[in-house]
Amino acid sequence: MKNYQILRIIVAIFVGTVVGLSVTIGTILPAILAIIIGAMISYIYKKKTNEILEDERITKVSEKASRISIVFFSISIACIGMLLIILRNEYPDLTQAGFTLSYAAVALLTLYYIFYWYYDKKYGS
């Protein structure tokens, strides 16, 4: 587990550095390559290692954190979108952003329920 954490830190530093330099020089190709290489290195190490990288407790904590993040984010963007739409007379330039945030909240919730339905069918409840 410790070796994998160190590898992830090194990969994150590498990808962050290359993406930062890529943004500075204005080309996207090095950034895309760095992300792909970083993902491949992580995947290969995870596949080849005999270490226990994830147990049931980590999975359960991750599930709960993901669910709370989606709930918090979707409620936040829905409220901000609604506020921007309500304020369309005072700030007409922000109306489109309000609609975009509202549609994004609906899309996020739809995606959540599609995956919920899928996993409910797959694992049964």
What's the start-to-end Cα distance of the chain, in Å?
Answer: 32
Statement to judge: residues 70 and 118 lie in one domain: yes
Q: How many domains, in total, are found in the chain?
A: 2
Statement to judge: residues 78 and 43 lie in one domain: no
Statement to judge: residues 69 and 41 lie in one domain: no
Statement to judge: residues 71 and 109 lie in one domain: yes
Q: Give the model's pLDDT for residue 18.
A: 94
Q: Give the model's pLDDT for residue 52.
A: 66
Statement to judge: residues 60 and 44 lie in one domain: no
Domain holding 91, by residue range, is: 56-122
**Cα 17 to Cα 25: distance, rounded to the nearest angstrom:** 12
Q: Give the model's pLDDT for residue 4.
A: 77
Mean confidence (pLDDT) of the chain: 89
Q: Give the model's pLDDT for residue 65.
A: 92
Query: What's the rounded mean pLDDT across residues 28-40?
Result: 94
Three-state SS for 29-58 is HHHHHHHHHHHHHHHHHHHHCCCCCCCHHH
Residue with tokens 């609906």: 106
Please, which pLDDT band fits residue 48 given cuts at 50, 70 and 90? confident
**Cα 4 to Cα 41: distance, rounded to the nearest angstrom:** 11
Query: What's the rounded mean pLDDT across residues 36-63?
Result: 82
Statement to judge: residues 31 and 61 lie in one domain: no
- 60-111 per-position pLDDT tens digit: 888 899 989 999 999 999 999 999 999 999 999 999 999 999 999 999 999 9
Statement to judge: residues 75 and 118 lie in one domain: yes
Please, which pLDDT band fits residue 47 given cuts at 50, 70 and 90? confident
